[in-house]
Copies of this chain bind each other. A is one copy, B any other.
């Protein structure tokens, strides 16, 4: 699969995919005879994983470190797991913050609804008195 097809599949740009490879968010992609990237199924899985993790807020630094360790083999399993655990902790906190703020926002919107109702009522009253 060429770079454009992969980009379209994951709603990224070709530039972003090249950047991801350059900084190690995905492993190096094999090239064809003339030097064009040819993404294998496995490359594509890495792209999906990278997009998912970046989307969840994992830093480029942490993710590229994870990918680099992965390529070093089994001896890095414990270190890799620790990166995932750290990320999980970060996400857990983000999740609870976001949930709390979401609830707060819901209440605020409800409040606006009552205020708007009141405001509309007042406009109506003004009309009646003109």
Contact = CB atoms under 8 A, between A and B. Distances in A.
Interface of A: 52-53, 55-57, 74, 77-78, 80-81, 84-85, 87-88, 91-92, 94-95, 97-99, 101-102, 104-106, 108-109, 112-113, 115-116, 119
B101 A98 contact: no
Contacts of A53: 101
B113 A81 contact: yes
A102 to B, nearest CB: 5
Contact of A84 (B77, B87, B109): B109
Contacts of A97: 55-56
Given A91-B102, A92-B102, A98-B94, A112 B52 contact: no
Q: Which 9 A-B pairs have the closest CB atoms?
A: A56-B101, A81-B112, A91-B102, A88-B105, A84-B109, A95-B98, A77-B116, A56-B98, A52-B101
A123 to B, nearest CB: 10
A95 B91 contact: no
B78 A116 contact: yes
Contacts of A74: 115, 119
A105 B113 CA distance: 39
